[in-house]
Every structure is written in C-alpha cells, then in structure tokens.
Amino acid sequence: MKKLLLSISIICSAFVLNAQTETSLTIKAANNQIISKHIYGHFSEHLGRCIYDGFWVDENSTIPNKGRIRLDIVEALKKIKIPNLRWPGGCFADEYHWRDGIGPRNLRPKMVNTNWGGVTEDNSFGTHEFLELCEMLQTEPYIAGNVGSGTVEEMAKWVEYLNFDGVSPMTAIRKENGREKPWKVAFWGVGNESWGCGGNMTAQYYSDLYRRYATYARDYPGAPLKKIAAGANSDDYKWTETCMKNMGRQMWGLTLHYYTIPTGKWNAKGSATNFDENQYFTTMQNCLRMEELVTKHSAIMDKYDPNKKVALVVDEWGIWTDVEPGTNPGFLYQQNSLRDALIAGTTLNIFNNHSDRVKMANLAQTVNVLQALVLTEKNKVILTPTYHIFDLYKVHQDAKYLPIDFVSPDYTSGDKKIPALNVSASQDETGAIHISLVNLDPNKKITLNTVLEGLNWKNVTGQILTSAKITDVNSFDNPNKIHIVKFNGAKKSGNKLSVELPAQSVVVLELKN
C-alpha cells in the first residue's frame, strides 16, 4: 500500500511539474517610444563593502587594480554596458561633504558613517576616484548632492568644480588636484530621501528647498544639468503631487524608491536563501506592486506634465532581505538567488513597458550590498543571477519599444493569485526584435502563441536563465551554478512564434530576417 501511495505521489508530482498553460501574445510594430538605456543604471553607496573592499581595494592589494580600482569588477560591468552609476548615496549623500574627498589622500579628514554601521570613512574614495571609475566603466556619473546637512553654496561649488571650464577658484582647485578639463557631469540629484534620512522634511518644505538649491546648481557652457528631485517613498502619492505642482518645470526627473521586502515587514524581512514557496509567492506579489506604483505616480505626473518632459527616475529598487548570518547588520550583505533574478527580469519588464515616463532607474546596489550584481571574497568574484539578467536585457537599451497585448495565466497560492507571465519587447537599430519573457510560476511551463503585427522575421534564437530550485545561488565554491545557456524552446510556426517557456525562468529571444 505504501509503495502504491508513493507511486501515485510521484505521478502527481510529475504532473504538476509538467503542467502547462497556454496564452496568446500580440506584439505590434514599433512607434517612436524609446526604452532609455538609463533604465539599466546602477547604484554604489558608501555602505558596507560596496566601495571599500568592493570597487576600491587596499593600496597594497595583490588583486589586479588600476589606481586601487578593482579591474575584474570593471570588466564585468563593462560587459553588460551599464549606462550610469549613482554615487555617493543613498542616505550617505546627505552627510557627505565633497571637499573632504579631494586633494592628497593622507590629508583628507575622516568621518563616521552614521547611517551604515558606524564605521570610520577615510574619504580615500572621493570625487576624482569616482569619476575615474566611471571613465573606466565607460558610463555616465549620477551624483547625489547633499541637501540634508549641506548648504546651497556647497552644492553650487561642487557643480562648478565638476563642470566649469573657465577661470574660477573651484577650477583652480580642480587643476591643482590633477584634473585640467571638467568632467561635465549631467545627472545631478538634489538630495535623497528627503522625507526620511535626507532630512525628515515635508513635501512642501522640500519642494521649496529644492527650488533654492536647484537655482544655484548652474548650467555651465557645454554642461547642462539634468536635475533630479528627491521623490516619493513607495505609495506616497501626495509627495509626488506636491513636487509636480510646485517644481515641475525646474527638474529633469523625479525619483521613486521602492524595495521588494519578502515578508512585507521591515523588522523581519526574510532570508535571502532559506524560504519556501509560500514566501516566494508573497515576495513576487510585493515585486509586482511596482506596476501599480509606476502607473499611479505616472498618472499624477501626467496631470501636471502631459507631454511627459519630466522623467520618473526609480533610482532605488530591488529585493531587500535580512543580512547573511554572521555579517555586520549595517553592511546589508545578502546572497542572490534565482528568485532575485526573476525579480530583476520582472521589474525591468515593467520599466520597459512604462518607458514613456520611466527614463532612468538604478538597482540597489552594484557590489556586495542588497541585490548586488557582484559579490567578492578577497580575490574571488561571483557574478550573481541578477547580473546575468542585466546581461540578457542589455539588448533593450535605447531600442524602440514594441507594445504587447496579452492576458497572463495565473500563478495561484491558496486563494491568492498573481500574473505568472510578464513580457517586454523592443526592436534595435538593425531591425532585430528582442522579447524578454519571465515565468514566475515555479510549477508550470507556459505555451505561448505569438503574432507579430507589421514585423518581419525569419529566424529565432534565444537564451535562458533558470535553475532547479528557486533558492539556488552562485557561491564562491560553485560560482557558475546559475548562468545563461542557449534556449531551444522557440520556433516559427507558419506566421506565428511558438514558445515553450519553462517554469521559474527568464528567456530573451532574438528574431531576425
């Protein structure tokens, strides 16, 4: 009897794992909407081991580096074509005084990083070092200025130091510090999380303050600023309303911060690796909330800016879990699983599909912090599952957005359900079509029958990222457990595209003539 029950159980399990649903997609020809490459931006704060023991190694380190900037990380990030890098924070930005981070390193004053672990910051990594890193990465810098504890004069002179090519006290100091020509930094954040760690301000107070700071953050010849205001925390729609009403014409972009918390509880977020399917489902529910947030904040922005001149800049997003056991709680070091890759693919699909308003975004954070692309341990480096998503999705950067029409099958858990499937598509300048597909259901594959209206193609190839378990990770002992492989589950059937999308997977297809 026990053998019979076991056999029935195995058969039922096999049925569940091989179960599938069918859906139809329609992909339409390109319009003039572009998926900005800056949606694929990143964030590096003076937090934990992101800068120090991440990008920036000890001066006596034997790890290959150039001027203390770690070269294996640089090469990995260049491969995925990161378009911009945000620095120095985050919460750190509003206690950072830029003049402490220039000049001879042995003369730079030390400070306490009160936000992140109470460690001593020696300011060895400052403005010149960051901009050298950006030049090595071939990426655009995005600097967050200090509104919380800084002054209007301090911010104004930082902009002058960075961008002015004439005769002035700031340019003279820059040249003394070894930089003859200005960097001409465009992206400029006027404060960060001003509703919280950036000053605990009201929306009205911040919007008035922004107007003052932004007035003195000057456009210098050949270096116009794209000024980015500190926007809302999650669903604070009143903040967005106030900012758009009071300063809509004075900003290039308005930020939104939203983190996926597995449990939804900040005091007990949940493990990065030890979770069951119930918590996985809840995490994906929370991840998909980004769609609602972007939609509702965009609607408010449309009210004041119908021509969509102000960008929605989601410059902090990603999964935030409890730290890895035994690590400093203030360093926010967490592992990165297949679940996190599915979150990254899903979120980027949402941004792509809202690229009429979302023009910039920054995953938190690049190295060793939160949903990192890269983890380091001495001379070892891991490229996380999330890194591989950005590698797959780089084909969408600055490509034409292709609208998609479909109804997703459900992924159910008890009496709750979420969309199992999310998709975005684009067409690059060569005419190649790219379709990114995410199946969040860990139990069922999805069969897709796709019509491409007004689009010509003959051949399809693909790549896939998946693994046996949603808890699987790349470790220092097994750094390539989860990696991109060739996908053979797509074919042309008459004039349609047929796809067998495996459970818990991310697939990117390329269609060419």
In the three-class reduction of DSSP (H, G, I as helix; E, B as strand; rest coil), residue 381 is classed as strand
Amino acid type, 37? K
* Annotation marks residue 59 as catalytic: no
Whether residue 188 contacts residue 89, with contact meaning beta carbons closer than 8 Å, is answered with no
DSSP secondary structure, 9-51, as one string: HHHHHHHHHH-EEEEEEEEE---S-EE-GGGGEEE--SSTTST
Copy the structure tokens of residue 345: 């693919």
Copy the structure tokens of residue 108: 């730079």
* Annotation marks residue 500 as catalytic: no
Please give the Cα distance from 68 to 121 (Å, whole number): 16
**H and E: helices and strands count for the chain:** 10, 28
Active site residue: 180, 193, 241, 429, which one?
193
CA nearest neighbour of 369 among 336, 334, 340: 334
DSSP 249: G
Q: Which segments within 283-330 are labelled E, that is strand? A: 311-319
For the chain, the first-to-last Cα distance in angstroms comes to 58
Active site residue: 316, 377, 429, 500, which one?
316
Amino acid type, 261? I
Say which residues have a Cβ less than 8 Å from residue 244's Cβ, sequence separation at least 6. Answer: 254, 300, 301, 303, 304, 305, 310
Residues marked active site are found at 193, 316
